[in-house]
Amino acid sequence: LKKLERCMVGFLWADTEVNRHIHQIAWNSLCKPKAE
């Protein structure tokens, strides 16, 4: 599960193994249905 989340986060913020970023928005805030 962590590996899958790491892939999705990397896609959203263009992270790589070498170039990591601090993410200012919580993952559970980003992954909500459109209705919310």
Q: How does pLDDT run across 1-36, given as a tens digit for each residue? A: 778 877 776 776 665 666 666 666 676 777 777 776
CA distance 25 to 23: 6
pLDDT for residue 29? 74
| Residue 16, C-beta contacts closer than 8 angstroms, at least 6 positions apart | 10
pLDDT for residue 17? 60
User: Residue 12 sits in which domain range?
Assistant: 1-36
- Length of the chain equals 36
pLDDT for residue 13? 64
Please state the pTM of the whole predicted model. 0.34
* Tally of domains in the chain: 1
pLDDT for residue 32? 72
